[in-house]
């Protein structure tokens, strides 16, 4: 293999590592996450953004260094579709994060999960249905066109 085989992968690896690390350098400090003047909901979205950087950077590393296969398209679509909702669910775990700020009060402590859980269920269902179709097609049987 030539160097041209590795250069794009190394560049993408650099981008992925920056995407993973930089949000924490910039935001996991007293100016953002630990800022006493920030309301909880601002912390929630800041946490989601930092988690999204880790998620997308990790996905970039995975896709950069993994081999492609028949089911590559399915897995790629699945993890991309789930990214926003997984990171939104993780935002509750950041210090001081809340689902809303006064004067709002939905009366439910984890209100975003009413969106996160159904959306991830839809992603999982779509993945399962496509997996079933692809496996059936690979076995010589066309399932569902």
Residue 83 and residue 77 in contact, taking contact as beta carbons nearer than 8 Å: no
- Helices 40-65 and 72-90, interaxial angle, to 10°? 160
Residue 59 and residue 79 in contact, taking contact as beta carbons nearer than 8 Å: yes
Kindly state the tokens that stand for 71.
């089911």
Band the pLDDT of 140: cuts 50, 70, 90: low
Provide the pLDDT for residue 46: 95
| Backbone φ, ψ for residue 141 (5° rounding) | -110, 125
| Domain ranges across the chain | 3-138
31-59 confidence digits (pLDDT tens) = 889 999 999 999 999 999 999 999 999 99
55-88 confidence digits (pLDDT tens) = 999 998 988 888 777 678 778 888 888 998 999 9
């Amino acid at each position: 293999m030539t160097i041209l085989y590795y250069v794009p992968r190394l560049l993408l690896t650099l981008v992925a590592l920056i995407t993973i690390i930089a949000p924490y350098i910039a935001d996991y400090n007293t100016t953002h996450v630990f800022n006493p003047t920030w309301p909880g909901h601002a912390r929630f979205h800041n946490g989601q953004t930092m988690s999204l950087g880790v998620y997308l950077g990790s996905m970039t590393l995975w896709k950069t260094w993994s081999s492609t296969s028949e089911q590559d398209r399915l897995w790629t679509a699945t993890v991309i579709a789930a990214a926003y909702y997984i990171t939104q669910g993780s935002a509750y775990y950041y210090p001081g994060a809340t689902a809303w700020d006064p004067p709002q009060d939905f009366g439910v402590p984890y209100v975003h999960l009413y969106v996160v859980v159904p959306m991830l269920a839809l992603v999982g269902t779509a993945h399962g249905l496509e997996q079933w179709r692809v496996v059936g097609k690979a076995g010589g049987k066309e399932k569902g066109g």
